[in-house]
Chain A
Amino acid sequence: MQALTSRARQVDRKPMTFIEKIYLWNILKGMVITFKHIWKRKETVRYPEQKRPFSPVFRGLHILNRDAEGRENCTACGLCAVACPAEAITMEAAERKPGEEHLYREEKYAARYEINMLRCIFCGFCEEACPKDAIYLTETFAPANYKREGFIYGKQDLLIPAPGEKKKA
């Protein structure tokens, strides 16, 4: 019969030989194999001290971007929410008042912008959909939390710090 892959191998159904029957020899062979593993390289990544490098296209936690003058890019157009297959993004738009030009780049901005990280599948469609370069996926991932509410990230969690402003931890 034609084998489906090059790795297919016929199962050996011959009756066991005497050596195989007494079992001890095969145990010994197995133990030699495990003993060799003592000197093999350890695969463990000691996590908090040592981090596994991510691929350059890794899609992690989102950020909301600002422009060069520190104004929010997001105009609450809702395209990211439409693109989102997991329906993780909700937002509420508001109109920019006179005197807020240094805060928001355009006349409309997101008063509320929430991503539910438990719903999010980190597909990056929001990033692709965004016409304003406002949302990006970074190389970090959401830390553990004791409550479900803790996974709903608001604007204060997502927005990158403005120039001259320290982001609170």
Chain B
Amino acid sequence: MNIDWFFILEKIVLISGVLVISLVVAMYSTWGERKVASIIQDRIGPNRAGFMGLLQPLADGGKLFFKEEIIPGSSNRFLFILGPSLAMIVACMTSAVIPWGDTLTIAGHSISLQIADINIGILYIFGVVSLGVYGIMLGGWASNNKYSLLASVRAASQIISYELAMGLSLIALLMMTGTLSIKEIVEQQRHGGWNVLYQPLGFVIFLVCSFAECNRTPFDLSEAESELNGGYHLEYSSMKLGFYLFAEYINMFISSALMSSLYFGGYSFPFMDSLGLAPNLVTILGTVALFIKIICFLFFFMWVRWTIPRFRYDQLMRLGWNYMIPLALANMLVTGAIVLYRSTH
């Protein structure tokens, strides 16, 4: 049997790289969140642990690890542990199909900076993201606490409602690009223009829905940390709580990456093919460009959080079902008509 060891090694390196990067980005998102909050509120934010408080996430993580771990006596132990693990695993899984860059050529081997270029990339992401609800539901259910359960019901119904509008807004994009592979969508934008120019309404709907999917303000009803003392993770302590919070930040990172890839050209940047640089250098610059886009989106997420208050639950549901879904349907219809008109003329 002929096993391509180089291929396996390449994928292992890529997977660990992407995993480490998404964990580090999530870790520093907590630092970024606190810094953004503080500068928006005319404060300084964490500045004691290391230069500009850069060691703060390490201190927080260390604290979470050494905190006492409590599993409530009346909880379902297996599900209680499964909940945060599932949330974390699902959050990390989505990074597999996102193209982090073009191909690098090292010693004759061309390495695609994407773990798996599957032709149903977007479908995969939707499937995995839907699984994310189970982490939240299981956590709330296994805690055997009515408040946790209520919060997880809130979170689940919110995520399911907004997933619909999100999917519909994406269908318009898919009709336009004609592919489900994220890599191909990025490549199309590399040669054409960014999709946000052709799908502005679809992008806005997708953006709003991804706020809801990540349980971020103004849709953070599942947690409502300013009023309640915790949502579905009320009974969680120590690193299990950390996993839930961490999974949220990874989700934020992944949805930023997804939005950059689908609507803002992913790893492509203007004039990337006319610079006349070495292909490897262009690839690296492309990855840097992607990360700049991601960081802009992360900043946007935080900026919104520290600007606007939370929706009431009925407002949230009305926005989702009465405004987002019809808008997404209309967007789909118009896009479909234009695509049809273009193909026949």
Contacts and interface: CB of A to CB of B under 8 A. Distances in A.
Interface of A: 22, 24, 27, 30-31, 33-35, 37-38, 40-44, 46
Contact of B39 (A24, A27, A33, A37): A37
A16 to B, nearest CB: 12
Contact of B42 (A22, A33, A41): A41
For the complex of A and B, the 9 pairs showing the least CB-CB separation, nearest first, are A34-B307, A44-B44, A34-B40, A30-B307, A31-B307, A43-B42, A40-B42, A38-B39, A37-B40
Nearest to A41: B42
Given A24-B204, A27-B308, A30-B308, A42 B303 contact: no
A101 B308 CA distance: 71
A37 B303 contact: no
Nearest to B39: A38
A118 to B, nearest CB: 29
Interface centre among B40, B43, B44, B304 (most CB of A within 10 A): B40
A117 B51 CA distance: 37
B144 to A, nearest CB: 37
B306 interface: yes
Interface of B: 39-44, 47, 204, 303-304, 306-308, 323
B308 A42 contact: no
A162 B44 CA distance: 43
Nearest to A37: B40
A5 B328 CA distance: 48
A98 B61 CA distance: 66
A28 to B, nearest CB: 10
A37 B42 contact: yes
A17 to B, nearest CB: 16
A129 to B, nearest CB: 42
13 contacts: A24-B204, A27-B308, A31-B303, A31-B304, A33-B307, A34-B303, A34-B307, A35-B40, A40-B42, A42-B44, A43-B43, A44-B43, A46-B44
Contacts of B304: 27, 31
A18 to B, nearest CB: 12
A41 B44 CA distance: 10
A35 B303 contact: yes
B203 to A, nearest CB: 12
Contact of B306 (A24, A34, A41, A42): A34
A44 B39 CA distance: 11
A27 B217 CA distance: 12
A22 B39 CA distance: 28
B307 A42 contact: no
Given A22-B323, A27-B304, 8 more contacts: A27-B307, A31-B303, A31-B307, A37-B41, A38-B39, A41-B42, A42-B39, A43-B42
Contacts of B40: 34-35, 37-38
Contacts of A27: 304, 307-308
A42 B204 contact: no
Contacts of A35: 40, 303
A7 B40 CA distance: 27
Contacts of B323: 22
Contacts of B47: 46
Nearest to A33: B307
Contacts of A42: 39, 42-44
Contacts of B42: 37, 40-43
A38 B303 CA distance: 11
A39 to B, nearest CB: 9
A40 B42 CA distance: 6
A42 to B, nearest CB: 5
Contacts of B39: 37-38, 42
